[in-house]
A and B are shown apart, each in its own frame.
Chain A
């Protein structure tokens, strides 16, 4: 479904909208307050509009952007503490397990001697095949990987738990970047297996600084569980239709892992009186009163991660200015484990002039909002289709599309229009055909990737 991919859309529209963006940059109250320090991370607060109508309450989308700078040399990357958790249940037998072994070997070859690698395989029980250890020349590790045979049940929870136990052996060493890569092709049938339980495990692991990247293989796995686990632990998620995709996916994942520039990223956004945070759109965060919080386990170099927050702004007189949000990001520089803090600020102006308001729109923020809104809605649609309420799902998707179309027309945002149009097509198709297994998995994976701004697909 090439039309669904929001990044392609973005790229295409970005070039079309460049003049508009240049105009935005020239605005006197440009909201992007980049940090002057030469940190590896840049924090920026964008608003969908910098001018709001006067004397009326309005909703504003706050986009908290975190840019990871590309590190100059790949050799300077922080060492990786990686646990590979492989499914070796009976369903993996044959080509799949061969590909998984090949992919694991590929991972091993890309790791350097200083990295820590652990291999856990699970069937009905989880077993540590390689306890966490430095890769070295990797020869003994290769033998263990080649010895993996398929057969048995799918104790996914135990597998992840054991992988976490291996990773934990090195969590004290702050130089390392911790990650579990989970491969599964089937439904978890031994141990806790609901998406909720795995999601909570993921959240708990994130608090320890461990991210779980999930790779779903084939059409048999539980995509809800896999995406939930990945999202809650701030890991990536992938959908591999065939075993042949595995080496590519593992390579892409390692590309991300090696590009980590900052870890333990905590963003705190404070809102002054008169501004009330309503909800996060897309990426999940926590809201306590006037404070919103966001935790990311890591930032990758050369990638932008962002969160979208809907806030309600109290009415203001025309011409008055108002501070919308103050953000503070704390992170650990992956190169030297130094903790750094950045702040950013954004504000709006109230005006009676409709043209000014429309001109102040940030089309990129609007587009991101549209894409994430649709991703949220599609997740709900999946739940509705599961509950056999296909029509309601399609109706809600169309409603969202109409809202977005209205927005797009008001502000002349072609990108949002295109997102809305694609969504209408998908709503039609969903109503007509429902969700087949492949589409459902793609929905889940793409939604997660959108919300997570995962660059590697």
Chain B
């Protein structure tokens, strides 16, 4: 009667192993792609940072180049002006000098004061009797100081010679468009400067023009002496009361009287404005600053703190302490945007990987769940078939014996017929269980509630089934409540629950020899509590939570010692819950199992 074992477990293992394999197939590429993406992201970010820093360095270099260019152009312009003024000064013959100087002061915007002096720094012009403010100011500034150290005794480098005209042309070819526009500005400024530093007189043009035209001829007459000893000339930045003054001087023939000019610094500075770039790129700024770091001209934006990125000092022989400053504030957004890029990238990759993995895991869980269910159903079908087979075999055996008429004994025949009837009832119960299960599963089970006196009802039910239990060696004891206990419930469902519990006891606790059923009112006063107690082996702790699950059996192999479909307890609990109560398990004191049915 024992059925052959079926190889269900290996099949289950194979399919679950396959599922794990599939999951691995998903997991590995996902992680690989994620890692690769992170790697790429890192490289991209590194490249971005590098590019930003390169661009920054390039701009810095450009700012530096422009600052230098501006400084060179400033020097060129000043050199032009200074050279022009000294050329004009040197070209004047001595006998016309006073008239020329007076005219110069009046008409040349770049001349503040023109002076004559002996080599020993005795000022001849402006004279000590001069009354006008500028002449007195000049004497106040310089007369005393020169007595100690005249500017022409110090060996100054001729500033213009240190500046090379080539600079402008070279930079013009290299520099981008905005600056080439400025080159035009600079050249115009230079042309104007050259024109101005020579004689420009409009007030009494006729007599002076004559003088000037006459000048070269007269100069030729004197040239014999002058060739023997060339002119000494130079420019001297001079400080008086903290202010800078530019003095140019010529000593014709290298000795004797000195003629010179104090440059009008305001007019010079005014002209230097055109050297700065007219248009500058965003964030860049250029400034021409004097020795007290005051900005004279600026172009573009200067940061508030005023610390230049680069300062190019002008030649000390021209304007000591003055500089051209280039400003390029450090990029404040570059680094953070790179970091943001990496962060967002990593986040996206993370989300992508997590989404794929969690999706895969869900599928895996679902697949395992389905496999388990399929396995349970297979087991159920096998069990149910097995359960059916036993009573059917018995019925067939006895029916055949009776049919063949080989049973002569009437009592034996009656006994056979009773057995057939009992087995048929058992079959009917099995079928009922299966049907109930199917109805409960589909949620179609309907209860017909009616008030029942539980004591009488149970006494009646238990009396009907007592013989069956006695057969397997169990003594059934029923302890009804003292007072009648009436509960509104479904009679058939209640009967089925109790029968299933009794079957369960009969199946697994037959060794215990007794089943005790107690009925009592619930502690709350409403409803009833029915205890079915046996002295069987009890339920192992790890199975206690699952014995009420459908298809679950403590030993669910077909070779199990005890038959069954794993439905009885599951149906009992579902019915109990359907009636508004519950069914739970507790280990019985002193060994065995206790099933507690609560009814509202």
Interface-side segment among A7-15, A71-79, A200-208: A200-208
Q: Which label, helix, strand, loop or mixed, suits the secondary structure of the A interface? A: mixed
> In the bound complex, what is the Cα–Cα distance between A157 and B298 (angstroms)?
11
Question: 0/1 per residue, B270-309, Cβ < 8 Å to A?
Answer: 1101100010000000000000001111111110000000
Interface-side segment among B104-112, B352-360, B437-445, B459-467: B104-112
Known: A192-B296, A197-B266, A286-B134. A161 touches B273 (CB 8 A): yes
Instruction: Give the chain B neighbours of A264 by CB distance below 8 A.
Output: 202-203
Are B269 and A165 closer than 8 Å at their CB atoms?
no
Instruction: Give the chain B neighbours of A295 by CB distance below 8 A.
Output: 106, 203
Are A204 and B298 closer than 8 Å at their CB atoms?
no
A366 at the interface (CB under 8 A from B): no
B95 at the interface (CB under 8 A from A): no
> In the bound complex, what is the Cα–Cα distance between A200 and B262 (angstroms)?
13
Q: Contacting B267 at CB < 8 Å: which of A126, A158, A204, A286?
A: A204
Interface residues of B in 124-172 (CB under 8 A from A): 129-132, 134-135
Question: 0/1 per residue, B183-201, Cβ < 8 Å to A?
Answer: 0010011001000100010
Q: Contacting A200 at CB < 8 Å: which of B132, B266, B271, B299?
A: B266
CB closest chain-A residue, reference B269: A192
Known: A197-B266, A200-B266, A207-B108. A191 touches B274 (CB 8 A): no
Instruction: Give the chain B neighbours of A192 by CB distance below 8 A.
Output: 266, 269, 294, 296
Are B266 and A277 closer than 8 Å at their CB atoms?
no
> In the bound complex, what is the Cα–Cα distance between A192 and B296 (angstroms)?
6
B206 at the interface (CB under 8 A from A): yes
Are A339 and B206 closer than 8 Å at their CB atoms?
yes
Are A161 and B129 closer than 8 Å at their CB atoms?
no
Are B132 and A286 closer than 8 Å at their CB atoms?
yes
Q: Contacting B295 at CB < 8 Å: which of A162, A190, A203?
A: A190
A244 at the interface (CB under 8 A from B): no
> In the bound complex, what is the Cα–Cα distance between A383 and B221 (angstroms)?
54
A182 at the interface (CB under 8 A from B): no
> In the bound complex, what is the Cα–Cα distance between A332 and B204 (angstroms)?
10
Interface residues on A, range: 35 or more
Known: A158-B273, A197-B266, A277-B131. A204 touches B109 (CB 8 A): yes
Known: A266-B204, A330-B204. A126 touches B302 (CB 8 A): no
Interface residues on B, range: 35 or more
Are A207 and B273 closer than 8 Å at their CB atoms?
no
Instruction: Give the chain A neighbours of B110 by CB distance below 8 A.
Output: 204
Instruction: Give the chain A neighbours of B337 by CB distance below 8 A.
Output: none
> In the bound complex, what is the Cα–Cα distance between A127 and B108 (angstroms)?
26
Are A201 and B270 closer than 8 Å at their CB atoms?
yes
Instruction: Give the chain A neighbours of B192 by CB distance below 8 A.
Output: 168
Are A208 and B204 closer than 8 Å at their CB atoms?
no
> In the bound complex, what is the Cα–Cα distance between A5 and B34 (angstroms)?
88
Interface residues of A in 270-300 (CB under 8 A from B): 277-279, 285-289, 293, 295
Q: Contacting A124 at CB < 8 Å: which of B130, B188, B196, B302?
A: B302
> In the bound complex, what is the Cα–Cα distance between A286 and B131 (angstroms)?
8
Are B267 and A209 closer than 8 Å at their CB atoms?
no
Are B203 and A165 closer than 8 Å at their CB atoms?
no
CB closest chain-B residue, reference A165: B274
A160 at the interface (CB under 8 A from B): yes
Are B274 and A162 closer than 8 Å at their CB atoms?
yes
Least distance between A207 CB and chain B CB atoms (Å): 4
CB closest chain-A residue, reference B298: A125
Instruction: Give the chain B neighbours of A330 by CB distance below 8 A.
Output: 203-204
Interface residues of A (CB under 8 A from B): 124-128, 155, 157-158, 160-162, 164-165, 168-169, 190-192, 197-198, 200-201, 203-209, 264, 266, 277-279, 285-289, 293, 295, 330, 332, 339
Shortest 4 CB-CB contacts between residues of A and residues of B: A204-B267, A204-B109, A200-B266, A266-B203
Known: A126-B297, A161-B270, A192-B269. 16 other contacts (CB 8 A): A157-B297, A160-B270, A161-B273, A190-B298, A200-B112, A200-B266, A204-B110, A205-B267, A207-B108, A208-B200, A266-B204, A278-B131, A285-B132, A295-B203, A330-B203, A330-B204
Interface residues of B (CB under 8 A from A): 102, 106-110, 112, 129-132, 134-135, 185, 188-189, 192, 196, 200, 202-206, 264-267, 269-271, 273-274, 278, 294-302
Q: 13 pairs across A/B with beta carbons < 8 Å? A: A157-B296, A158-B296, A161-B270, A161-B271, A168-B192, A200-B266, A204-B109, A209-B202, A288-B130, A289-B131, A295-B106, A330-B204, A332-B202
